[in-house]
Amino acid sequence: MTFDINLVPDGGISWLDASGPDGNIVLSTRVRLARNIDGQRFTVRSSPEDNQVVLQQVERASRASRALHDAPLIRIDHLQPAERQLLHERHLISRDLTGLEADGNVRAGAALLTNGCVGVMVNEEDHVRLQCLKSGFALTEAYSDLERLDAEMGGQLAFAFHEEFGYLTSCPTNAGTGLRASVLIHLPGLVLTKEIAKVLQGLSQVGLTFRGLYGEGSEVVGNFFQLSNQTTLGKSETELLDHLGDMVRKVIEYEQQARHVLQRDAPTVTADKVWRAYGLLKYARSLSFEETMNLLSGVRLGVGLNLISDISVYTLNKLLIFAQPAHLAVREGREIGDPELSTARATYTRQLLEADAAR
Amino acid sequence: MQCDECQERPAAIHLTQIVNDSVTTVHLCEQCAADKGVQTGATVAKFPLSDFLASMGKGGGASNQSPVGDDTAECDHCGGTLRDFRESGRLGCPDCYRTFSGHLRDLLRRLHGASQHVGELYMAAVSGGSGDAPGIGELRDQLRRAVESENFELAAELRDRIRVME
Ligand SMILES: [Zn+2]
Ligand SMILES: [Zn+2]
């Protein structure tokens, strides 16, 4: 099966448009709810036939929901590795669902239904992972879309629920609400002023955790951090979201203070870093992914500080996604590796920046 | 990749910094990162689970279902055991939560600081998911269980429903 990403409404990247609240510092907000079907084994112990049954049930339930009634069903288990990687790079499916980790085998019945900002991953670590991805800092909006979908799906499917432990999940770290909310935030000011370790440690003390750009297990690149709730049980959904929201608001404040300090105490050094990053990004002929992310961080800071005005935040967001390997391969129309990949990345980056500057 | 600090252990944490004129990524092992006051989400997330899983089945967990130390008792529904759980960190099916509730209550308290869900209640589950409204006897049963497990929010809801039916 050849997969056409254009089947996905908006290509699944409406969250990139930088239109959301605090879009300059917060790229996106994601909320997900983990659910399982009662009487069915979790995917770690299920058979391919079990997974088919789950997929059929979830698809039927989705068709009865407002948000997903006409969403395309993407059979992840029918896709080539590069196509799965593409969806992952686009933040539409988790690493787990791609099956590219560890043994590299995609789970039978692994699927995605997605429409606009909401979607459902089927036969992930849990049978059902409802998700909502929004532009900017938008926890309340993301959860309210999801709550509606959850209620509709829960009316059609028999979710596994326990009086004491709440929603039951394959991993006990997700039990209870099954809710994981995360905010993808850019913190170059705190990194440059060396305050970041203190801030992250503070967050871990108040029950929050952080990861890199691609969620669980991914490393921090380009000063992008995903802040999320650590616990899912013993607090209500609203409490979890409010707590995360309050803390993110504080982190945004700290970041703004740090940027102020940079401009006050080291304006020349800061401007120099920003423009060097811009220069490299614009004129380099070979760029690794990590270097690109770090340069983008510098340019993004420059835009935030009003030093650079001819590049939009949307273009910077777009580069984060489209400068990744599977996306570049799609553009080239074939599989490519280094050193060609780094050349293709530099070419693409240059074109995008030139187009923006010409506007 | 080796840790930049001790040059011995494998690097697990990668911190991107801008030092002087260049962007650098510092690669640290978990220990050196901890010494430097950098705490990662991964360490925080992994630690209590693996720690608990290691101690489980070695007489650590207080279970009311299986004899202490027995990690081979099977879940009736999926055949999974505590040993399986300890190895994979994943349970086999929703019934595992009932089968191993003693162990899991301990674990959940350690992971989340609580074992009692206080979030949204799943009403389809409360009514058996079949669409048929439960009888008053069944509701009283559920109420008793809810009170026993100190699920007061559910208890209050059930009490209201019983009141309507009486
Ligand atoms: Zn070290
Ligand atoms: Zn089981």
Among A231, A257, A283, give the residue marking a domain's end: A257
A159 inside domain: yes
* Cα dihedral value A89, A207, A141, A298, nearest 10: -50
Is there a single domain that holds both residue A180 and residue A302? Answer: no
A167 inside domain: yes
Tell me which residue in B90, B98, B101 faces A171 most closely, judged by beta carbons: B90
pLDDT above 50: residue B60: no
Could you list which residues have their CB under 5 Å from ion ligand 1?
B 3, 5-6, 9, 29, 32
Distance CA A158, CA B126 (A): 10
Distance CA A108, CA A77 (A): 6
Is there a single domain that holds both residue A230 and residue A93? Answer: yes
A54 inside domain: yes
Tell me what pLDDT residue B146 has.
Answer: 74
Q: Tell which residue, A156, A158, A78, has the closest CA to residue A111.
A: A78
Rg value, chain B, Cα: 23
Is there a single domain that holds both residue A208 and residue A92? Answer: yes
A262 inside domain: no
| pLDDT per residue as tens digits for the range A70-110 | 999 999 999 988 899 999 999 899 989 999 876 668 999 99
State how beta strands A179-186 and A166-167 pair: unpaired
Instruction: Please state the three-class secondary structure of A256-323 as a single string.
Output: HHHHHHHHHHCHHHHHHHHHHHHHHHHHCCCCCHHHHHHHHHHHHHHHHCCCCCCCCHHHHHHHHHHC
Among A257, A291, A308, give the residue marking a domain's end: A257
The parent domain of residue A320 ranges over 267-358
Is there a single domain that holds both residue A236 and residue A322? Answer: no
Nearest Cα of chain A lies from the Cα of B144 at a distance, in angstroms, of 11
Distance CA A253, CA A189 (A): 11
Stretch A25-49: mean pLDDT: 95
CA–chain centroid gap for A157, Å, is 27
Q: For chain A, what is the domain count?
A: 2
Is there a single domain that holds both residue A219 and residue A271? Answer: no
pLDDT above 70: residue B62: no
Among A229, A257, A285, give the residue marking a domain's end: A257
ipTM entry? 0.88
Cα torsion A240, A245, A246, A248: sign: positive
| pLDDT per residue as tens digits for the range A120-178 | 999 999 999 999 999 999 999 999 999 999 999 999 999 999 999 999 999 999 999 99
Containing B154, the helix (H) or strand (E) segment is helix B152-165
Distance CA A347, CA A328 (A): 10
Neighbours of A265 (CB within 10 A): 10
Is there a single domain that holds both residue A252 and residue A271? Answer: no
| pLDDT per residue as tens digits for the range A211-240 | 877 655 566 788 999 999 999 999 999 999
A91 inside domain: yes
Residue of A nearest to B93 (CA): A41
Is there a single domain that holds both residue A241 and residue A276? Answer: no
Query: Facing residues of A179 across strands?
Result: A33
pLDDT above 80: residue A326: yes
| Side-chain-side CA neighbours of residue A119 (13 Å) | 28
Q: Which ligand is nearest to the CA of B27?
A: 1
| CB-CB contact of A104 with A68 (8 Å) | no
Distance CA B24, CA A184 (A): 21
| CB-CB contact of A296 with A316 (8 Å) | yes
Is there a single domain that holds both residue A51 and residue A99? Answer: yes
Q: Which ligand is nearest to the CA of B90?
A: 2
Distance CA A272, CA A278 (A): 10
b/e burial code for range A20-34 (CB count within 10 A of at least 16 → b): bebbebbbbbbbbbb
Is there a single domain that holds both residue A273 and residue A252? Answer: no
Nearest Cα of chain B lies from the Cα of A205 at a distance, in angstroms, of 10
A127 inside domain: yes
Contacts of A276 in chain B (CB under 8 A): 21
Is there a single domain that holds both residue A323 and residue A244? Answer: no
Tell me what pLDDT residue A221 has.
Answer: 81
Is there a single domain that holds both residue A28 and residue A93? Answer: yes
Is there a single domain that holds both residue A238 and residue A296? Answer: no
Q: Do B124 and A211 touch (CB under 8 A)?
A: no
| CB-CB contact of A320 with A276 (8 Å) | no
| Summary mean pLDDT of chain A | 91
The CATH code of the domain that includes A222 is 3.30.590.10
